[in-house]
């Protein structure tokens, strides 16, 4: 961050993006132990609007809200048991997804959207690895079965989510820059 203290504008923007996570996160389609949710979209939008560090902070605020019991996780669930449950590795993995994708989104201008896509794929891959390893440890399932439940069914949806987030995120970033709410590389 630019200074040791966060400005009122920064705190407000982090709060707003945490609220976006709280709105999008619970929206999900249960297809097994890991639902299709819009949390990935929320995290990508956080880093588009706020950058790597502040976007990650906004996601962590969302995660803490869910941990204390607010029904902001998939299927309108909340509580610490969700974080330590079988899908908790993905919730924690989103922190690393925000950092990695945020690095690319913050460092490269919107005209280099394809590099944003690279960062999003790398970040999501790390999230998948961490989440699947944790899922396997909790459920005692093998790698093949875990990948079949937790990764492979989601890949087509995640490709669409990444594409939508690039279009919406680049547009949001540009619009917020024009409104002097955030800095942006052209």
> Can you tell me the mean pLDDT for 34-43?
93
Q: What angle in degrees, to the nearest 10, is found between the helix axes of 8-24 and 39-50?
A: 160
Residue with tokens 């279009």: 167
Q: What is the topology classification, in CATH, of domain 8-178?
A: Arp2/3 complex 21 kDa subunit ARPC3 (1.10.1760)
pLDDT tens-digit series, residues 82-121: 999 999 999 999 999 999 999 999 999 999 999 999 999 9
Residue with tokens 């989103």: 94
Per-residue H/E/C for 30-81: CCCCCCEECHHHHHHHHHHHHCHHHHHHHHHHHHHHHHCCCCCEHHHECCHH
Sign, CA torsion 116/125/63/79: positive
> Can you tell me the mean pLDDT for 148-154?
94
Q: Where are the domains of the chain?
A: 8-178
The full length of the chain comes to: 186
- CA–CA dist 183, 106 (Å, integer): 10
3 has a pLDDT exceeding 60: no
CA atoms within 13 A on the CB side of 149: 18
> Can you tell me the mean pLDDT for 18-30?
94
């Amino acid at each position: 961050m630019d200074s040791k203290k966060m400005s009122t504008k920064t705190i407000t923007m982090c709060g707003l993006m945490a609220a976006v996570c709280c709105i999008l996160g619970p929206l999900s389609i249960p297809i097994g132990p890991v639902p299709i949710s819009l949390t990935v979209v929320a995290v990508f939008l956080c880093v588009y609007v706020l950058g790597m560090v502040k976007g990650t902070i906004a996601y962590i605020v969302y995660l803490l809200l869910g941990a204390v019991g607010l029904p902001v996780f998939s299927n309108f669930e909340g509580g610490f048991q969700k974080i330590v449950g079988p899908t908790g590795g993905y919730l924690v993995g989103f922190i690393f997804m925000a950092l990695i994708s945020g690095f690319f989104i913050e460092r490269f201008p919107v005209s280099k959207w394809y590099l944003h896509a690279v960062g999003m794929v790398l970040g999501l891959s790390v999230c998948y690895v961490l989440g699947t390893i944790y899922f396997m440890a909790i459920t005692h399932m093998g790698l093949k079965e875990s990948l079949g439940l937790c990764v492979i069914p989601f890949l087509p949806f995640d490709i669409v989510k990444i594409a939508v987030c690039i279009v919406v995120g680049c547009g949001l970033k540009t619009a917020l820059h024009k409104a002097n709410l955030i800095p942006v590389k052209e």
